[in-house]
Chains A and B, each alone.
Chain A
Amino acid sequence: MIRARLIWIVLGYGGLAAGACLLAPLVGSTHISLARAFDRSIPFADNVDAQIFFVARMPRVLTGAIVGSTLAAAGVVMQALLGNPLATPFTLGVSTGAALGAVLAITFGSSLAVSALASVPLASLAGAVVASAIVYVLATRPGRPISTMVLLLAGVTLNAFFSALILFVQYAADFTQAYRTIRWLMGDLDVGGFEPIVAALPMVLVALGLFAFLPRSLNLLSVGADVASTRGVDVGRTQRLAFLSASLATAAAVSLAGPIGFVGIVVPHLVRLMVGVDHRIVLPASALFGAAFLVGCDLIARTVLAPVEVPVGVVTAMLGGPFFLWLLVRKS
């Protein structure tokens, strides 16, 4: 029963994600044909359709798929870990840490001798790692389960603290730097080529691989830590694995495309409305639907005011914000 459901849902949502990735690059200022883009009889150098499809548009679409997938799955894990359906991948401070790193690199990077520190993706990754490490150290005690209350409070406090630091750095920044910071904070899937994707992919794959160990334990954890423990879950180990893998996934996604909000909460809830709440189904379905969702949002961002592009973070927030509020109201 669950095996058959799992197979159908993975096939269905996988088809949706694959379809979105194939069709989204066809849409844009220049019309191209899918058949011609994949026509191997025309040399690539002469095939304008293939060049636009693979070189100009595919990196952006793939980034959308990877980031959407990663943030949605990380959202599912965070919600189960914290036992709170309103948690997001950004609740525990990972994205604000990443933002602080990015802002520092944008503002002070050019004056640094070490060029690696001037790289915004690396700096944001470092910021995310530092933030996760701080929250982890605050919330864990050796040999004891993590207190989700301490975890939440530490995350929320760190978010506020890092936001204040970001404002402080912003205050010191010049006009161009402040503008670049704002643009980074909006999120941007236009990463400019395949190299950033290849660089982020190992982290994403490790995180998604670790997620595969979690679903049944997350089911029990979301019923209650003591219940999970007496049903045979090693609660401390599951919590640490969930926290570290979700933080890694979020760090990778944010360093690649900036903090794109609401994917990590909208997608898991939409998926739960469609397939129920069993994490063995919700986690893979969210990963696949998240890919399709963000690629779709980016398509809207590229076309709704064409030739002007709306930042994709604005689209996800404008779709996600009202949805989130509706969820809140419906719950109470």
Chain B
Amino acid sequence: MLRADNVSFGYEGGFSLRDATVVVSPGSLTGLLGPNGCGKTTLLKLLCGVLRPQAGRVLLGDRAVESMTRRGLARRVAVVPQETHPAFDYSVLEMVLMGRHPHLGAFQLEGPADLEIARASLEATGTAHLAARNYMTLSGGEKQRVIIASALAQATEFLLLDEPTASLDLGYQLEVAALLARLNRERKVTMVLATHDLNLAASLCDRLVVMRDGRVLAQGATTDVLTGDMVRQLYDVDADVAFHPRAGHLTVVPVRRLA
């Protein structure tokens, strides 16, 4: 289990996260929702140990995340950032093999087993045919799937994703969503997903955490949390939330902005 216990964090004085308590139970696919600047990314960075809480603690199992080494933590929690811009043009296979970093000794080179895991990660994300290509030549959707493959190669129980579909067109959004659902189902990877896309969250996540102004407003099963009332509280938007029989999940149709 990964949990944040009453964590607070602020950049330069102001709080961007205050007294947040969030529980990520094993096997779940949790969505983090909230308007810009509500603290979603800060919470993700606290959960993966990139930031240290200024108050409260983040626990992985019964250990405080900040007491773990980067290496030890990276063997259990992987992260997919919103966008990745390497300074050099690595090949796709090289990018994915970098996911093996926490499993290798200081001077160890990747062996056949690591290559096998990288290949399997490429297969799982439908990017095996891109292995020899250079990362910078890929389209946005291909890049995002390669970064997900790189995180999968880390072979972790937890995968944290920061708006993984934000820069993708509708087709790729659905493709990445289907990929994440499959990985959660088949590989039992526990996921936390920060997103602005309410319909993506509704289709994908079994649990939601909703945040505004650095505070957690509610968390629970998607069907309980995602209501028209909640959308109004979060975004000041009047929206219809209804079950869509063909899609098989809740859908959100924004109607108008409330002043």
Known A-B contacts A79-B87, A222-B87; A231 and B95 likewise in contact (beta carbons under 8 Å): no
Residue among A84, A230, A233 making CB contact with B87, cutoff 8 Å? A84
B106 on interface, CB distance cutoff 8 Å: yes
Number of chain A residues close to chain B: CB under 8 A: 32
B11 on interface, CB distance cutoff 8 Å: no
Q: Is the CB of A224 within 8 A of B86?
A: yes
Report the minimum CB–CB distance from A243 to chain B (whole Å).
Answer: 16
Q: Is the CB of B104 within 8 A of A216?
A: yes
Residues of B within 8 A of A229 (CB): 49-50, 70
B124 on interface, CB distance cutoff 8 Å: no
Residue among B70, B79, B110 making CB contact with A234, cutoff 8 Å? B70
Q: Is the CB of A80 within 8 A of B87?
A: yes
Q: Is the CB of A2 within 8 A of B110?
A: yes
Known A-B contacts A3-B109, A278-B94; A231 and B99 likewise in contact (beta carbons under 8 Å): yes
Q: Is the CB of B101 within 8 A of A227?
A: no
- Expressed in whole angstroms, the Cα–Cα distance for A213 and B89 within the complex equals 22
Centre residue among A226, A229, A231 by max chain B CB count within 10 A: A231
Interface flags for B32-73 (1: CB within 8 Å of A; 0: not) read 000000000000010011100000000000000000011101
Residues of A within 8 A of B98 (CB): 219-220, 223, 231
Interface flags for B73-102 (1: CB within 8 Å of A; 0: not) read 111011101001111111100110011011
B115 on interface, CB distance cutoff 8 Å: yes
- Expressed in whole angstroms, the Cα–Cα distance for A83 and B154 within the complex equals 23
A11 on interface, CB distance cutoff 8 Å: no
- Expressed in whole angstroms, the Cα–Cα distance for A233 and B70 within the complex equals 6
Residue among B71, B81, B94, B115 making CB contact with A227, cutoff 8 Å? B81
- Expressed in whole angstroms, the Cα–Cα distance for A80 and B90 within the complex equals 13
Q: Is the CB of A231 within 8 A of B154?
A: yes
Residues of A within 8 A of B85 (CB): 224
Residue among A224, A232, A272, A277 making CB contact with B73, cutoff 8 Å? A232
A109 on interface, CB distance cutoff 8 Å: no
A276 on interface, CB distance cutoff 8 Å: yes
Residues of B within 8 A of A222 (CB): 86-88
Known A-B contacts A2-B110, A223-B98; A232 and B79 likewise in contact (beta carbons under 8 Å): no
Q: Is the CB of B104 within 8 A of A226?
A: no
- Expressed in whole angstroms, the Cα–Cα distance for A272 and B87 within the complex equals 13
Residues of B within 8 A of A223 (CB): 84, 86-87, 90, 95, 98
Nearest residue, chain A, Cβ from B72: A232
A1 on interface, CB distance cutoff 8 Å: yes
Nearest residue, chain A, Cβ from B78: A230
A240 on interface, CB distance cutoff 8 Å: no
Q: Is the CB of B79 within 8 A of A230?
A: yes
- Expressed in whole angstroms, the Cα–Cα distance for A220 and B86 within the complex equals 9
Q: Is the CB of B101 within 8 A of A6?
A: no
A193 on interface, CB distance cutoff 8 Å: no
A196 on interface, CB distance cutoff 8 Å: no
A280 on interface, CB distance cutoff 8 Å: yes
Report the minimum CB–CB distance from A167 to chain B (whole Å).
Answer: 34
- Expressed in whole angstroms, the Cα–Cα distance for A280 and B49 within the complex equals 27
Q: Which of A245-303 contact B (CB under 8 A)?
A: 272, 276-278, 280
Known A-B contacts A219-B98, A223-B98, A226-B81; A280 and B88 likewise in contact (beta carbons under 8 Å): no
Centre residue among A6, A224, A277 by max chain B CB count within 10 A: A277
Residues of B within 8 A of A216 (CB): 101, 104
Q: Is the CB of A280 within 8 A of B101?
A: no
Residues of B within 8 A of A14 (CB): none
- Expressed in whole angstroms, the Cα–Cα distance for A73 and B45 within the complex equals 33
Residues of B within 8 A of A276 (CB): 91, 94
Report the minimum CB–CB distance from B52 to chain A (whole Å).
Answer: 8
Centre residue among B85, B109, B115 by max chain A CB count within 10 A: B109
A residues in contact (CB < 8 Å) with B? 1-3, 6, 79-80, 83-85, 212-213, 216-217, 219-220, 222-224, 226-227, 229-235, 272, 276-278, 280
The 10 closest A-B pairs by CB, nearest first: A232-B102, A232-B74, A230-B79, A277-B88, A232-B71, A222-B87, A83-B87, A223-B86, A231-B101, A234-B70
Interface contacts beyond A223-B98, A226-B45: sample of 9 additional A-B pairs, CB < 8 Å, sorted by A: A222-B86, A224-B81, A224-B86, A226-B50, A229-B50, A230-B78, A231-B78, A232-B75, A280-B109
